[in-house]
Amino acid sequence: MDLLNNQANNFNLIRLFACIQVLVLHSLDFYNIWFNNLFYKIWWLFPGVIIFFSISGFLITRSFEINNVNSFIKKRFLRIYPGLAVNIIITTVILYFFGLIAFNFDFIKYLACQLTLFQFFVPESIKRFGLGHPNGALWTISVEIQFYILFCIIGYALKWKKKTKQFKTLIIASLILLSSFINYYSNEYLEHESILYKLIFNSIFYNFSFFGIGILIWINIDKLRNLLEEKFSFWIVGLTLVIILITYHDIPIRRYQFEFTSFLYLILLVSTLFSLAFSYKSLSFKLIGDTDISYGTYLYHCLIINLFLQLNISSKYILSIYFASFLLGYLSWFFVERRYLKLKHTIN
């Protein structure tokens, strides 16, 4: 059975797990609770964004190699922008309700940035909602779109489909090293509150490494298949032992700042989850079918958390945040994303 068939892998289930990780961690962070709790420390070790980026690198490279450039761009647009556009409309309505948006130049800048690839930008006049950015998690959407653009440029310039696996591996490994250097240098020598650091942090050049890991797995999937397919039980034992070691010795693991020990741990985590993707085949399809609410839930969760904070709703109602986020994620999938994804099959 083809491992890339939705009914023969667990990517949708893993993306849902990554989404839940981000949702729970953000809700705890925003409410300033459980920072010294053992659950929080372990939950921290499964960074959903890193998981998203790695899976994206794998699947996007596959998509690029089986589609022409025009088809690739159209399909990526249909996956990202319809759900995002509806999210921005709903966010705007909520901000207007609270009197935080007026139809002025700040609003035009906000709308233009949110609907292009600068989702991390919010005018100061809008930062009075919740903890600031109404939907701060959308910075990753910006990075994702930049990745699509960068990969198109690389693919077109290097005639990617005609290159050998060895050449592709060398190019991507070099870009991972470059991105790791940019990441390390930025954190070591730039002020984190400076405009330059914020621009670099929100760029693909800072965040390419784990997209690159996903790309490398796709490029070398024939060689790695025997190490990953139906081997999850071995990988999870190794990962569990490492997590126990990290937790017991209180070893700090960084998610977005390059540090060698953290980098090795995250590669182990990603490899384990890719093994899960290709083990216990059809598990994801049996549990959730073709439903993929991870993107929609991710789009709305920060907005919901900030709305609760804006309304001064106590953290004891935190489960309501999860329910509302999943509900909006499902509605986004059912009424928006799924309908536009069907159009992908009409694109040549």
Q: Residues 111-154: pLDDT tens digits? A: 999 999 899 888 888 888 998 889 999 999 999 999 999 999 99
The tally of domains found in the chain comes to 1
Residue 1 lies inside a defined structural domain of this protein: no
Using 50, 70 and 90 to split pLDDT, how confident is the model at 71? Answer: very high
Global pTM reads 0.95
The b-or-e profile of 272-310 (16+ CB within 10 A means b, else e) is bbbbbbbbebeebbeeeeebbbbbbbbbbbbbbbbbbbb
Q: Is residue 103 part of a domain?
A: yes
**Does any domain span residue 289?**
yes
**Does a structural domain hold residue 160?**
yes
Sorted by sequence, the CB contacts under 8 Å of residue 26 that are 6+ apart come out as 137, 301, 302, 305
* pLDDT score of 86 more than 90: yes
**pLDDT for position 6:** 60
Distance from C-alpha of 222 to C-alpha of 219, rounded to nearest angstrom: 8
Beta bridge pairs of residue 129: 132
Position 67 in a domain? yes
The verdict on residue 117 lying in a domain is: yes
- 14 within some domain: yes
User: pLDDT at residue 4 above 70?
Assistant: no
Tell me, yes or no, whether 265 lies in a domain. Answer: yes
The residues, ordered by sequence, that sit 6+ positions from 256 with a Cβ below 8 Å of its Cβ are: 49, 183, 201, 207
In which domain, by residue range, is 335 found?
6-346
